[in-house]
């Protein structure tokens, strides 16, 4: 694995990034340091990922209604998530290659349009099989958006503030999740379940309007674009799987361990994100409004976790931040899944630290994966490893679905803790990259 740092980054004007100066200290120093073009890129990545989150959560929030409408077993409903995440690996890897070859912003627009179109199509599905197909195709766009947006912003950010900058981008996932929870509460309160789940999917058309703004306002970082275009091997899968030889470092080790890291973190996360609404409604007996209230605590914790984790990944380092929150997330899942019946107040309160920990671990991902790969294959490497983790980690929600009939959803959720243990072990094969500049 290469340990040679890339050239020091410069702003579009050719000067050192403002992030290096004392003028950009303070709570919003990271935002000022991006400059005008960087702030527009940040807004584009933030908005795209929030809408990505919104479109994703239309399914988990509608799971109970879908199950009743199509007469599905727990295993069949869990398959929705698995198919989405498995296909997202293909979409994410493809989006990474596209980002390296034609640019970050163009790739971002393609991913947003893809997940918007097929989310809307899900609302028209007449059968379970058709819905499964449309959800799989939605995964093509869902898989690529985060990796492309994170790279776009990472290449504008200086090393000093990159962790908190990408943590702020990551926090948009909680914004989209919250928006989905609000719309879910409204739609399911005023429409019958058989129509409400379709309306939820139809609202997924909103991201398509966002693409118009992206086309006019957001551009790739000039210095990173120049560095990428000088390399004839950009966007190469071969490069990220090339082993070191004859004293020359390769990227194979990085790709293998980064994929394992992503698998563990996302296996734990999607287990909880997929099944928690069902757990609260079916096993805890909460109403639609009650489920929304409990999710509000979880989502509030998630939003603050993303922001806090972003600061800690700059202060503690990328690896230490992930280690810390892998341990805390595993503990929170085990405690949350074993809260006794009737202790609904405790269930409500513990939602906040659960959301906080399982989100704070993600805050370092955008900066860490960007720093592990050179500019020419940064999109390919980040897109492949992040989304391979999604695909393999998708096995966890399916296992929960098949075990839920005998173990109960709460008991089966403990599989999420196993994912966080895998993530902690994967870090043993990866270096610390805090302070590394990107071209």
**DSSP string computed for 282-322:** IIS---HHHHHHHHHHHHHHHHHHHHHHHHHHHHT-HHHHH
Task: Indicate the pLDDT class of residue 16, thresholds 50, 70 and 90.
Answer: very low
Q: List pLDDT tens digits, range 221-262.
A: 888 788 777 777 777 788 899 887 765 578 999 999 999 999
Task: Indicate the pLDDT class of residue 212, thresholds 50, 70 and 90.
Answer: confident
Between 183 and 29, the more confident residue is 183
Q: What is the pLDDT of residue 411?
A: 59
How many CA atoms does the CB half-sphere of 406 hold within 13 Å? 3
Percentage of the chain modeled with pLDDT above 70: 83
Q: What is the pLDDT of residue 299?
A: 83
Q: What is the pLDDT of residue 129?
A: 94
Q: What is the pLDDT of residue 24?
A: 56
Do 415 and 339 meet the contact criterion of CB atoms below 8 Å apart? no
* Coil vs helix vs strand at 246: coil
Task: Indicate the pLDDT class of residue 13, thresholds 50, 70 and 90.
Answer: very low
DSSP labels for 389-417?
A: HHHHHTHHHHHHHHHHHHH-HHHHTTHHH
Residue in the block written with tokens 């893809």 = 114
In sequence order, what are the residues at sequence separation of 6 or more whose Cβ sits closer than 8 angstroms to the Cβ of residue 233?
A: 239, 376, 377
How many CA atoms does the CB half-sphere of 241 hold within 13 Å? 5
Q: What is the pLDDT of residue 350?
A: 78
Nearest CA among 23, 53, 46, 158 for reference residue 108: 46
Do 350 and 332 meet the contact criterion of CB atoms below 8 Å apart? yes
Please tell me the pTM assigned to this model: 0.78
pLDDT averaged over the chain?
82
Q: List pLDDT tens digits, range 260-294.
A: 999 998 888 877 766 666 666 666 555 555 566 66
Do 305 and 360 meet the contact criterion of CB atoms below 8 Å apart? yes
Q: What is the pLDDT of residue 247?
A: 59
381: tokens are 């490497």
Q: What is the pLDDT of residue 12?
A: 40
Q: List pLDDT tens digits, range 113-128.
A: 888 899 899 999 999 9
359: tokens are 């989100």
Q: List pLDDT tens digits, range 60-76.
A: 889 889 989 999 887 78
Residue 375 DSSP class: G
Residue in the block written with tokens 């393609």 = 110
Give the range among 129-133, 292-296, 404-408 with minimum mean pLDDT. Answer: 404-408
Q: What is the pLDDT of residue 364?
A: 83
How many CA atoms does the CB half-sphere of 318 hold within 13 Å? 27
Q: What is the pLDDT of residue 125?
A: 95
Give how far Cα 283 sits from Cα of 47, 176, 177, 329, 336, Å.
34, 26, 22, 22, 13
Rounded to the nearest angstrom, the gap between the alpha carbon of residue 107 and the centroid of all alpha carbons in its chain is 17
Percentage of the chain modeled with pLDDT above 90: 26
Q: How far apart are CA 326 and CA 25, in angstroms?
A: 29
């Amino acid at each position: 694995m290469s340990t040679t740092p890339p050239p020091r980054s410069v702003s579009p004007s050719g000067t050192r990034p403002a992030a290096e100066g004392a003028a950009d200290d303070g709570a919003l120093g990271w935002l000022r340091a991006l400059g005008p073009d960087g702030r527009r890129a940040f807004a584009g990545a933030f908005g795209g990922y929030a809408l990505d989150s919104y479109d994703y959560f239309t399914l988990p929030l509608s799971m109970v209604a879908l199950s009743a409408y199509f007469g599905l077993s727990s295993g069949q409903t869990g398959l929705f998530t698995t198919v989405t995440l498995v296909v997202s690996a293909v979409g994410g890897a493809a989006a990474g290659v596209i980002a390296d070859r034609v640019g970050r912003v163009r790739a971002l627009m393609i991913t947003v349009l893809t997940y918007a179109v097929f989310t809307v199509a899900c609302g028209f599905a007449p059968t379970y099989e058709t819905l499964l197909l449309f959800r799989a195709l939605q995964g093509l766009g869902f898989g690529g958006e985060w990796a492309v947006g994170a790279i776009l912003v990472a290449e504008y950010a200086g090393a000093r503030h990159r962790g908190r900058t990408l943590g702020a981008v990551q926090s948009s996932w909680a914004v989209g999740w919250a928006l989905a929870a609000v719309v879910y509460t409204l739609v399911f309160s005023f429409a019958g379940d058989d129509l409400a789940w379709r309306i939820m999917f139809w609202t997924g058309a909103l991201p398509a309007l966002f693409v118009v703004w992206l086309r006019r306002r957001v551009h790739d970082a000039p210095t990173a674009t120049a560095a990428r275009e000088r390399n004839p091997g950009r966007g190469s899968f071969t490069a990220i799987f090339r082993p070191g030889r004859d004293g020359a470092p390769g990227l194979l080790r990085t790709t293998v361990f980064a994929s394992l890291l992503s698998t563990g973190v996302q296996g734990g996360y999607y287990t909880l994100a997929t099944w928690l609404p069902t757990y609260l409604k079916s096993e805890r007996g909460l109403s639609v409004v009650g489920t929304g209230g409990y999710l509000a605590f979880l989502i509030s914790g998630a939003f603050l976790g993303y922001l806090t984790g972003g600061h800690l990944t700059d202060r503690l380092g990328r690896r230490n931040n992930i280690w810390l929150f892998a341990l805390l997330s595993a503990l929170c899942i085990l405690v949350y899944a074993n809260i006794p019946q009737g202790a609904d107040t405790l269930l409500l309160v513990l939602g906040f630290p659960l959301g906080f920990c399982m989100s704070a671990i993600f805050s370092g991902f955008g900066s860490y994966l960007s720093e592990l790969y050179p500019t020419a294959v940064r999109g390919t490497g980040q897109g492949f490893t992040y989304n391979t983790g999604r695909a393999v980690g998708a096995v966890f929600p399916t296992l929960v679905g098949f075990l839920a009939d005998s173990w109960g959803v709460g008991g089966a959720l403990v599989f999420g803790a196993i994912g966080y243990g895998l993530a902690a072990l994967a870090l043993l094969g990866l270096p610390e990259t805090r302070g590394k500049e990107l071209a």
